A and B are shown apart, each in its own frame.
Chain A
Amino acid sequence: MSDENGFSQTFEITGRDFGKAGTVSTKIKEILQEIGIDQGIIRRAAIAIYEAEMNVVMYANRGTLTLRITPDEVNFTVQDEGQGITDIEMAMQEGYSTATDEMREMGFGAGMGLPNIKKNVDKLGIASIPGKGTILELTFYLNEAK
């Protein structure tokens, strides 16, 4: 929906549904292209939200991804109900992974998700309660080139 502060839309992500994994990111990339967001930002955002979506599919029961666009930034809040992250500092390290074989067969779960996300965003917020879930906040500034 749109108001004077910008545009926002929320998408549902289903946990463990590997068949549909990635569809939300593909849809959002199309929306950003229709709106005419800078190509470089779309590229970075698409990679980051795809990794975030895969994390929800792999590690959570369900989640939501909310896209907000204001004149200054594109912002994504990815919130899930799932196992959460016990050690965020470790999860931010490349190669650290708690993935199962099923996740690895999908081509994910190599401990690159959060590091990849961090590399692509302008600002990253992360909060997690083990056993409850995780919230990621990804921000991309529209008026500052990275």
Chain B
Amino acid sequence: MTLREVKELLQAEVIYGEEYLDMEIEFAGGSDLMSDVLAFGKPGILLLTGLSNAQSVRTADIIEAKAIVYVRGKRPASEGINLARKKGIPILSTQYMMYTSCGLLFKHGIPGVSTLQEKKE
């Protein structure tokens, strides 16, 4: 799925990075806890978070996330947007809450980063 398709699925607004919308998104993870993001994050991840301070962008840069989607209509402050621009990390904002955002992406084929496999009935 491209970032453009993520944007449409989540009815998201592009806060920064229109030029990156054709990038391919292969997997995603969501958390408001940056220490968890640092622990589970893998390079190339689409990061969903409700934490809108500059630390969220900094954490995304550290783990080499492809893009950030802020949930619940959150928007980063200008410091975060400036850092995202400098680092080339596109930022989207959706009105959906975390659970719904992740659920929609998962339903449309974007897996998470968990190593635990779903049990087959």
Contact = CB atoms under 8 A, between A and B. Distances in A.
Interface of A: 18-19, 21-23, 25-26, 29, 43, 46-47, 50-51, 106-113, 115-116, 119
A107 B62 contact: no
Given A21-B55, A50-B59, A116 B35 contact: yes
B32 A107 contact: yes
A95 to B, nearest CB: 10
Main secondary structure of the interface of B (DSSP, over half): helix
A117 to B, nearest CB: 10
B95 interface: no
Contacts of A47: 38, 62-63
Contacts, number: 66
Please report whether the interface of chain A is mostly helix, strand, loop or mixed according to DSSP: helix
B19 interface: no
B121 interface: no
B33 A119 contact: no
B61 interface: yes
B7 interface: no
B38 A116 contact: yes
Contact of A107 (B43, B53, B83): B53
21 contacts: A19-B54, A21-B58, A22-B55, A22-B58, A22-B59, A22-B62, A26-B61, A26-B83, A50-B58, A50-B59, A50-B62, A51-B38, A107-B33, A107-B49, A107-B53, A108-B33, A109-B35, A110-B36, A111-B35, A112-B38, A116-B39
